[in-house]
Chain A
Amino acid sequence: MFKVTDYKQHSATEFEVLIDAPRIAAKAKPGQFVIVQRNETSERIPLTICETLPEQEKIRIIFQVIGKSTYDLAKLRPGDELFSLAGPLGKPTEVQNYGTVLLVGGGVGIAALYPIVKGLKNAGNRVITILGAKNKDFMILADECEKYSDELILMTDDGTLGRKGLVTEAMEDVLKREKIDCSWAIGPGIMMRFCTQTAHKYDVPTYVSLNPIMIDGTGMCGGCRVSVGDDIKFACVDGPEFLGDQVDWDTFMNRMKQYHTQEKEAYAEVKEG
């Protein structure tokens, strides 16, 4: 089944696992995700595939502990098996040679950005990458992103690594300085929204990767629906990438709050347990 083979802690809340998943490792492309269910009583949660290791038949997942389900995943150790792992899901990123691309990642969103950075570099783009984190301890994958970036800019809220400030400030500098053909922003909803607005001022299209609540992840329930343009889209099959300009951010972020009460209850119980 889906056995965890390696485990690593990146920061106080960010963890990494390698999972034996030959079929997914062989097929996953940048931008795609899996649905993970730890135990039979667990919920199904979507997590982006950070990297595939097809020769080793493994996939690499990096996640942040934000509630009970991710808390349970953080306890995974080599040898543990997952109840269910489905993927690769969603539409892959349109990887092609755009010219110069700007990639912005925030927090654990960097794990989802990294395969796109790598893909776009390998497709011949000039790649400028901006990574943002709370402080230096929470900065993940900076070395790996650097390998596939022509320029890497690091931003932290407290200035403990790279520049102090928000990723949008670094974006402004780059956008003022040179012509960008396409950009991507992956991170918290609020960050993606502001990145989209920043790039919009310079007429640069921004792709964002939406992470709404999902259940099956295969287009069967509509739980992950988002308003894009004038239409209802299912992030699991139509996305998760959409043009940030077309996303109705208010309703997207509001729908994320739908189960806050229950999520808090479940997390409190497990932490005390």
Chain B
Amino acid sequence: MAKRSYNKTPIREQDAEVRSHNFKEVVLGYTMEEGNLEANRCLQCKDAPCIQHCPVMIDIPGFIKQIKEGDMDGARKVIARYSNLPAICGRVCPQEKQCEMVCRLGQSKKFEPVAIGKLERLVADWSLDHPEEPADIAHDKGKVAVVGSGPSGLTVAGDLANAGYDVTVFEALSKAGGVLSYGIPEFRLPKTIVQKEIDQISAQGVKIETDAIVGKTITMDEIMSDFDACYIGVGAGTPNFMKIPGTELNGVYASSEYLTRINLMHSYEFPKYDTPIEPAKDVVVIGGGNVAMDCARSARRLGAEKVTVAYRRSVEELPARVEEYHHSVEEGIDYSWLTSPIEYIGDENGQLSGVKCIKMQLGEPDDSGRRRPEPIPGSEFIIPATTAIEAIGQGANHVLLDTFPELATNKWGYIDADEETCATSIPGVFAGGDIVTGAATVILAMGAGKIAAKEIDQYITEKKANTVNN
């Protein structure tokens, strides 16, 4: 065997200058040869820490071994035991904070960890090109409703269909996928990949009803009477606004609106698609998470000459994925660290012309352990911009919750569900993902889905056994 390389096998990417003008995927993925080379870097640890740090506990050395042996079908089967959405997770998981963070190879000096995410993606993409005949499963163990077709809902649905349940997913939008469809842009997660992965879940017998808004189109009462159990995975999709003066100006967007127009409605293809978006020369994006990166890079691709990300802390505290931060810098995104907007300035037409900001300094650590940003008096300055996008986080959507007050929520307005079991205050109603935790990651939502599927199976099995016994 060739000597183990210190570094990850490099992955091909679109040139930064070229890609900053298109919405095509940036990272092109491994070839089989590259994948094989990378798979050979894995130490095949017996007590693999990477597994423990994957929220759905994929047998990582197991599937990497299959790649090494050239058995892609075998690798697919290993991953499929744990994940319903590997092509998505391989692309968007923050591996540097999960599986790859604890990779033993990466712990030794000089060595980078195994590129687990990229290998998962290789297997998943191969698998989408080589679809399997769906297993012939009878769906007669009971009826389950899943509210929301984001990553957690799709995971619950896929697992329960495989376990023999008749599953219906209710989705409010016209397309399934939740944040995978309206939030994460094409250049990180191609929508054809999302659709193929969802099609595979449908092929397992899951019914997906779009345009079905639970609480409006269908009530929770109807769901409770028509189904044996229900899973609520409606996410945290309601935008927060900072509510600084000038929020009502034209050109001020919440990240959710900006990204929904682009991703779900294809406004970057206007007028081929009807939904417009405002083109802007100067754009300010507020925030430091993945959503802020996605907005900034989208604005660039829409033709903005200068895109500035204003973040109130410094680069060390940036919550976004490292890979995406680097991509954004390569694409010419500017950063204004320790910067907090205090007012939107408008022109005489009610159009945004600039964002007034104040410089911050880091004080004592707060409850989250991060140093608290404090404004420096007298340091105000204006960044000229005709578009500003607030990417400062989302809260719980209350369309369903307002019509179902019996369901207990916590002080932040999220559903009060047991993290170990996803059980809510109402028997038979389970919940997980962002509607329980607040905005988090795709893989954590999937992890909750895995747990919920097991618990729902157990709940229905016990309920049916009791009915028979009585």
Residues in chain A within 8 A of chain B (CB atoms): 2, 23-24, 27, 37, 41-44, 68-69, 83-89, 215-216, 218-223, 225-227, 232, 237, 248, 250-251, 254-255, 257-259, 262-263, 265-266, 269
Contact across chains for B397 and A219 when beta carbons are under 8 A apart: yes
**Which residue in chain B gives the minimum CB-CB distance to A232?**
B241
23 A-B pairs with C-beta separation under 8 A: A42-B273, A43-B273, A44-B275, A83-B174, A84-B174, A86-B174, A86-B211, A86-B213, A89-B216, A215-B265, A221-B257, A223-B253, A227-B248, A232-B247, A250-B350, A254-B248, A254-B250, A254-B350, A255-B350, A257-B250, A258-B250, A262-B271, A263-B276
Cα(A130)–Cα(B295), bound, Å: 47
Contact across chains for A220 and B218 when beta carbons are under 8 A apart: no
**Which residue in chain B gives the minimum CB-CB distance to A89?**
B216
Cα(A75)–Cα(B176), bound, Å: 28
**Which of B218, B254, B271 has a CB less than 8 Å from the CB of A221?**
B254
Contact across chains for A221 and B275 when beta carbons are under 8 A apart: no
**Which of A2, A43, A87, A250 has a CB less than 8 Å from the CB of B265?**
A43
Q: A41-B272, A41-B273, A265-B271 are in contact. Are A216 and B260 (CB under 8 A)?
A: yes
Cα(A69)–Cα(B250), bound, Å: 22
What residues of chain A lie closer than 8 Å to B260, measured between beta carbons? 215-216, 220-221
Contact across chains for B217 and A218 when beta carbons are under 8 A apart: no
Determine how close the nearest CB of chain A comes to the CB of B179; give it in whole angstroms.
Answer: 10
Contact across chains for B397 and A223 when beta carbons are under 8 A apart: no
Contact across chains for B248 and A255 when beta carbons are under 8 A apart: yes
What residues of chain A lie closer than 8 Å to B254, measured between beta carbons? 221-223
B49 interfacial contact with A, CB 8 Å = no
What residues of chain A lie closer than 8 Å to B174, measured between beta carbons? 37, 44, 83-84, 86
**Which residue in chain A gives the minimum CB-CB distance to B251?**
A258
B261 interfacial contact with A, CB 8 Å = yes
Cα(A88)–Cα(B271), bound, Å: 29
CB under 8 Å from chain A, chain B span 269-290: 270-276, 278
B168 interfacial contact with A, CB 8 Å = no
Contact across chains for B398 and A215 when beta carbons are under 8 A apart: no
Contact across chains for B239 and A221 when beta carbons are under 8 A apart: yes
Cα(A262)–Cα(B219), bound, Å: 38
Determine how close the nearest CB of chain A comes to the CB of B262; give it in whole angstroms.
Answer: 11
What residues of chain B lie closer than 8 Å to A69, measured between beta carbons? 274
Contact across chains for B211 and A215 when beta carbons are under 8 A apart: no
CB under 8 Å from chain A, chain B span 197-251: 210-213, 216-219, 237-239, 241, 243, 247-248, 250-251
B437 interfacial contact with A, CB 8 Å = no
Contact across chains for A269 and B271 when beta carbons are under 8 A apart: yes
**Which residue in chain A gives the minimum CB-CB distance to B270?**
A262
Contact across chains for A42 and B274 when beta carbons are under 8 A apart: yes
Q: Contacts A27-B219, A215-B260 given; 12 further ones with Cβ under 8 A?
A: A27-B217, A41-B273, A44-B275, A86-B172, A219-B238, A219-B399, A221-B239, A232-B248, A251-B350, A255-B350, A266-B274, A269-B271
B41 interfacial contact with A, CB 8 Å = no
Contact across chains for B398 and A85 when beta carbons are under 8 A apart: no
B173 interfacial contact with A, CB 8 Å = yes
Q: A43-B275, A220-B238, A222-B239 are in contact. Are A255 and B265 (CB under 8 A)?
A: no
**Which of A218, A258, A259 has a CB less than 8 Å from the CB of B213?**
A218
B256 interfacial contact with A, CB 8 Å = yes
B65 interfacial contact with A, CB 8 Å = no
B76 interfacial contact with A, CB 8 Å = no
Contact across chains for B397 and A68 when beta carbons are under 8 A apart: no
**Which of B173, B182, B216, B238 has a CB less than 8 Å from the CB of A88?**
B216
Contact across chains for B278 and A232 when beta carbons are under 8 A apart: no
Q: A248-B248, A255-B248 are in contact. Are A41 and B274 (CB under 8 A)?
A: yes
Determine how close the nearest CB of chain B comes to the CB of A72; give it in whole angstroms.
Answer: 8
What residues of chain B lie closer than 8 Å to A83, measured between beta carbons? 174
What residues of chain B lie closer than 8 Å to A258, measured between beta carbons? 250-251, 278
Cα(A120)–Cα(B241), bound, Å: 36
Determine how close the nearest CB of chain A comes to the CB of B322; give it in whole angstroms.
Answer: 28
- Name, among A86, A222, A232, A258, the residue most crowded by chain B CB atoms within 10 Å (CB to CB): A222
Determine how close the nearest CB of chain A comes to the CB of B221; give it in whole angstroms.
Answer: 12
What residues of chain B lie closer than 8 Å to A237, measured between beta carbons? 398-399
Cα(A215)–Cα(B182), bound, Å: 12
What residues of chain B lie closer than 8 Å to A220, measured between beta carbons? 182, 237-239, 256, 260, 397
Q: A221-B239, A255-B250 are in contact. Are A87 and B217 (CB under 8 A)?
A: yes
What residues of chain A lie closer than 8 Å to B239, measured between beta carbons? 220-222
**Which of A42, A85, A227, A259 has a CB less than 8 Å from the CB of B211?**
A85
Contact across chains for B278 and A259 when beta carbons are under 8 A apart: yes
**Which of A218, A259, A269 has a CB less than 8 Å from the CB of B172?**
A218
